[in-house]
Structure formats: C-alpha cells, structure tokens
Structure 1
C-alpha cells in the first residue's frame, strides 16, 4: 500500500472536562472515500477541523504527505491543499454567490474580475448551479447553499495550482435536507470525486444512513474518544461488533449510552 497522504498519530483533544479525542490514530490514502461515523459528541467534527488545520490538538502529530504539520494552517502551507465544507454552508450573507465562491481569488490573487467570474461560473456549473452568480444566499434553498459551498471548496487559483484542494472534508453535508435534496448532494460528492477539476479524496462526517452508504467506501467508528471499529462499507451489515450493530439499527439497547 502507498503511503498515506494524511496521517494522525496519537491525537488527543479536550474541551473543558470533556476529552473528545483520546490518542486517535487515523490514515487517509489517495482516492479514499472515508466515512467518519459515531454518536453525537464523539469528536467527529473535531477530527475534521484538526485535519483542516483549523483546530490544534492537545497532543499528537499530524502528517500531510509525510511532512509533519507545525501549528495551524495559518502558520504555514501544507504539502497539499485541503478544503472543508461546513455543516451550515458558512456562506457570507452580504455577498453574492459569485463573490462567495470566488472569495479567496478576489482577496488573494491578481486575476482580473472577468477571469475570476469565468472560473466561478465553471465551478458553479460543475455543481449544477450555472447562472446563479448574482443571487444572494438568502435566495437559495438549503440544498443549493450546500452546493455553493462545494463550489467554493474546489475553487482553484490557476496561478497557484499547489493551493488547489486535493482532499475535501465534509461535515454533515446532508444535515437538515429532505431525502431528495440529500440524494442530490450525495451524488454530487461522488461526482466531484471522479471528474477533472474535482477532488479525488475525501472524508465525510455524517449520521444519515443513506449518506453513509452512498458516499463512503471505508468507515471509521468513533465512540468515547477512540476509534472503536473500522472497515469497508460492505462489512457494516455483516460485522458482529456490538457498537456498529446498535448504531446502524438505531436501537436504544446496547453498549452505546443513550443521553437524555
């Protein structure tokens, strides 16, 4: 097997008195479609933020293409680009769709407005939203806002191809969406995984059964701050692991403690 492009070694993170990650090891390889699952409050989103360089662990090491990261992403560029799609899309309400998708280019490139507009339109077409650049987020449905956030995450600067996202991190991308809108997003995640200009490697945090089954090839199950199980999506229905059996069935009876 080739070397991992992202590797977490002994990662721990505590918020107040709550130790959400406890000596976690995690590897992501080129081409992975990795699902990170588990009950609420078990550190899944925290892992994504640590991978993205937005949150620092209390202890442990992070390697990006074999190079150890020192500090947060703002402290130095990683060996590869890592994009993140947030649960609530995290768009700027006062900016148009075009300005949201092209935000980094407008702020940090010397490209002309016309060139940026063309690049933005191309990315919007990739996510099935061509021609909506002049709208504001408040004029879009929840599913459309999600897709705009995807377009922003894969936005590339042709003058700095090294900054283009080679890995995408999705935090609950179908949360709050109806089943049809969820299917559109799930299909888009897979499409962006394979098309030119998309992103060939991703990790996704989700609780939704259809999203787990339709977007992930490999799964990591977190509970009580630790990786309790990992395997392929095909194994999730055949494993006898009690945590997986309870989680996937939604049963209140089992080793997972039901809060409230």
Structure 2
C-alpha cells in the first residue's frame, strides 16, 4: 500500500496563551440518564488527546458537544478563548473543527468526490474543476489516489474511514478560517483488522505531525490506537473524569479504573449493567 504524503499548511497559532479548547462543567442528560456530569477539560495547541472508558459513558457525546452538533444542558465551552453560544450553525467558531464519525457517515448516493467536496459544493464559490483538484489532493494525502469517481459501497471499511478523514480536513483555500485546527475522531479504528488499524493510526499521526500546532481528540477503546495516537489520556466513567495523564503512565498508574480497563478484569470499580 502506498504511503500517503502530506502538504497541509501548519497553524499559525503556536505559542498562544489561551487553550485551543476549554470545557467548564459540561453536563448532559438524555431523559433520566445523566451521561455527562460536570466535565471540565482543556486541550492546548498541538495536543493529541484520547478519551477512553467503558461503553456508554459519554465519550461520543463529548465529541458531539465540542463539534457544536449537540446542545449541552449546563456548562461553558471556550474555543480559542471565545465562549460558544448555541450550536455551530448559530455562530462561527474562531477556528475550524472537523469531525470523523465512527461509521464514516458517507452519503451512499454520492461519489467519493461529492462526499469529500460536499461542503465546498454547498458553501463556496469555487468552480467544480477547482473543487475536483482539491479533492484529488486530499485523497492523495490520505493514500487514496484515483478513487474520486467511486461510490462508498465500492470501498473497504478502512478506505471509507480514510475518505471520511479527507472530508474532515477539506477546507476552502480562499477562507483560511475554514481550515480545521481541531480534529475529532470517534472510534476511527472500530471494526478494522490490525493492519487496517495501523494504517489509520499512522494516518492520524501523519496528519497531526504536518499540521503544525493542530490538535485532535480521539475516542477509542482499542489499546494500540490509544498507545500509538495519544499524548495524553482522559479516562471517563459514568459521566465523570476519573483519571488523566500522559499515555506512558497508563502502565504505571495505580488508578483502579485504568488498571481494570487495560487488564480486562471483571472485578473492579467498572461494573457493566447485566
């Protein structure tokens, strides 16, 4: 498999004092189920952060709230020091935020080109030829040259994931503010074999490395993905942060939640519903 090349423009926000992202006391309930309970966290420029924990503990919910796709019940969100009011369509964030969904979330009836270039077709004045050129560039960037005219059903699971990456990093060159400085990955290696997972993990790191101070948050259960893509780990359980630390500390911490999670033991503070 050909290795992808990268030519993304680095962010110019290196060294800024304010965090790229700050959550303060975020809470969210669905009916009687309190999914997030006063969660506070900070992501700085250039950070690669993994949010881990048992299933159903609010990890994907956090991503959707950060992306501006889901209302929070309480708490504040600051993007580059600017308080967000409402959802993403209510006011533009000071930096672009891209999201890669767990199931790729491609439009089956559209070609790869139409999927990757969707926002540009809908919200830019670029010509179809210009959009096609940009689509070809990002597809080459994620190691998928020559597939623009194919449909999602013709692609493997790993290829669909990479197409969703291409869509997430697509931006309008005539609008620098549109360039995503924060990427959100929701279980990007779920359901993939070990080789395909390694390709995706390398791609995540490669995009990050060539974005200057660009940051990302990744939600994952997969041990290799945690270790190969994260610099810092946040452990979430029952809507609260139970542990946070550098990825290398997951093997030495005595935190009982982390110990049980990585050992796979049934006995411990993590109790699944039966």
Range of TM-score over shorter length: over 0.9
Contact conserved, 2:45 with 2:213, CA < 8 A, in 1?
no
Contact conserved, 1:192 with 1:199, CA < 8 A, in 2?
no
How many positions carry a matched residue from both structures?
Answer: 259
Deviation at 1:151, TM superposition (A): 0.2
Aligned residue number for residue 42 of structure 1 = 57
- Residue in structure 1 matching 2:256, options 232, 239, 242: 242
Aligned residue number for residue 119 of structure 1 = 134
- Residue in structure 2 matching 1:155, options 165, 170, 192: 170
Deviation at 1:225, TM superposition (A): 1.0
Aligned residue number for residue 129 of structure 1 = 144
- Residue in structure 1 matching 2:92, options 56, 77, 83: 77
Whole-Å separation in 2 of the counterparts to 1:258 and 1:131: 45
Unaligned runs of 5+ in 2: 1-14
TM-score normalised to structure 2 length? 0.93
1:160-189 deviations in whole A, cap 9, x for unaligned?
110111010000000010111000000000
Q: How does 1:88-237 map to 2 (within 5 A)?
A: 88-195=103-210, 200-237=214-251
Contact conserved, 1:102 with 1:155, CA < 8 A, in 2?
yes
Whether 1:257 and 2:271 are equivalent positions in the alignment is: yes
Deviation at 1:229, TM superposition (A): 0.4
Q: SS at 1:73's partner residue?
A: coil
TM-score normalised to structure 1 length? 0.98
Unaligned runs of 5+ in 1: none
Q: SS at 1:173's partner residue?
A: coil
Contact conserved, 2:24 with 2:41, CA < 8 A, in 1?
yes
Aligned residue number for residue 36 of structure 2 = 21
Whole-Å separation in 2 of the counterparts to 1:249 and 1:4: 33
Contact conserved, 2:22 with 2:41, CA < 8 A, in 1?
yes
